[in-house]
Structure 1
């Protein structure tokens, strides 16, 4: 069985689409756990209505200490062999759970699986499809977070070995977890779009993006030291580039970079 976990907080705008994408899967052997943080909008009404119609939905609504705490509550409630987290504004593509179940049946030694994302706008219009990377080794992960959370499925017993999501992380808790898992088990990857990721007006602010980039950078440095990996100057350069793009926007960053190159050449 697959345990799907969605955490919600005032998610009325998109949560119904998320729920429908799960319940419409042609693979029936799943449980759907919704962890709500005391929403004050219509989120709980929507969840209750669907829970009455489908016994596979379990839900709780209570205060939490942040995203990691809410996701960890879901893991603690899960009873399936495989666990996944689907954000409250994202969706599964038709047939995703069947693909995942089939993969683990054919590869019982695999501990976790990731696939590709389809990026959509606020109205669900497709922006582009992500592509599979050539290398998902620990070394590659120590350079950058290349694993898409909504398209990732993990055997539940892995959490007992490496721990849950870190409550010390505000943004990059998934990256922190990936690095702990990858140190023990190689990630399996399939070249198939499994979920959508919605890019919309409620996305992170510029200050949040800057803080997220900084947290990502600190996690990378932390685990490079733990795993005895060399820290390269290029990592700092990549961090600075991401920081500047978030701060000034891509077009302004390119102007700054071109001006910098002209000064070097002159």
Structure 2
């Protein structure tokens, strides 16, 4: 008599506002993983463009829709998290992508390891220039690496058990640049994570992103997030400063110097191989994976 193991379900929470130029590509990258056991929670801030019409075109995806005004990205995200039903959660911005095979990789890691969250390095792409890049390596990123200094988890590359979700208070709703930093500091604190060398998500580089729009607020928000987390874990300011001084050499060695050496090694390999591997990845990404900007419906050859 054989027994079957249930495949964990995945909820993808997407905060969106006037995401029409990019949303179809984002939804297609989810649909191409296979629609079984997948739900999308689209939290729309009352868009005035075709965002909702694009979502409706993806009839093979199970989409829960919330469409109402919100107080920003964090408010939208936390609304979506409260109605998500999947065993595993992904926060995906409306212009970013899931990479090929990501859901299968994540499900396999959760099935084989006793962990609370899975994360990876990211890829980034600039559709206007047909650019395709690798983000900084973050293998082994610890709680203290993340908190004492600034080495960020990539939101499109973090999957976590719904049962460990932690919510931020109203004071964080005003964040515009460091929303993801505040959220993941809280989520992953004292939790067990596992890094995978498969890049799980891709970040879209485009004009008008929050980091550029609100650049004048970056320093103030950064310090505010640090204080919020110090208050959350009960760490005083003098203790925080002392911890930074003690931990600094270890952080620099593991999260600055070694990644730089790794990236230098990759650059040398790219020169020696005439960059064939990256060229193949770029060609596949743009010709087979990414729906062109402005698309409004799924591919005819969708795989789900």
- Report 1:4-153 matches (<5 A): 4-26=12-34, 28-50=36-58, 53-107=59-113, 109-123=114-128, 125-142=130-147, 143-153=149-159
In the TM superposition, residue 43 of structure 1 has moved relative to its aligned partner by 1.1
Q: CA distance change for structure 1 residues 127 and 100 in 2, over 3 Å: closer, same or farther?
A: same
With the length of structure 2 as denominator, give the TM-score of the two structures. 0.69
Aligned to 1:230: 240
Q: Residues 215-254 of structure 1 correspond to what in structure 2 (within 5 A)? A: 215-224=221-230, 226-227=234-235, 229-231=239-241
1:139/1:176 Cα in 2 relative to 1: closer, same or farther (>3 Å)? same
Query: Which residue, 200, 210, 222 being the options, matches 2:206?
Result: 200
CA deviation map 1:169-209 (0-9, x unaligned): 33322212222233321332112211110111122364612
Shift of 1:224: 4.4
* Residue 246 of structure 1: aligned partner: none
Q: Greater RCO between the two (CA within 8 Å, min separation 6)?
A: 2
Question: SS of the residue aligned with 2:49?
Answer: coil
Q: Deviations over 1:16-63 (max 9, x none)?
A: 10011101114732111111111111111111121xx22512222111
CA contact (8 A) 2:13 2:92 kept: yes
Aligned pairs (5 A) from 1:171-190:
171-190=177-196
CA distance in 1, matches of 2:145, 2:243: 16
* 3-state SS, counterpart of residue 40 of structure 2: strand
CA RMSD of aligned residues (A): 2.4
CA contact (8 A) 2:120 2:138 kept: no
The equivalent residue for 1:245 is none
Change (3 A) 1:200 1:55: closer
Segments of 5+ residues of structure 2 without an aligned counterpart are 1-8, 246-304
Q: How many residues align?
A: 230
Q: Any unmatched runs of 5+ in structure 1?
A: 236-266
Contact map agreement 1:137 1:182 (CA 8 A) in 2: no
Report deviation, 1:139.
1.2
CA 1:176–1:55 in structure 2 vs 1: closer, same or farther (change >3 Å)?
A: closer
Aligned counterparts of 1:17 and 1:220: Cα–Cα separation in 2:
34
C-alpha distance 133-193 of structure 1, shift in aligned 2 (>3 A) = same
Shift of 1:127: 3.2
Match of 1:155 in 2: 161
Distance 2:125 2:104 in 1: 23
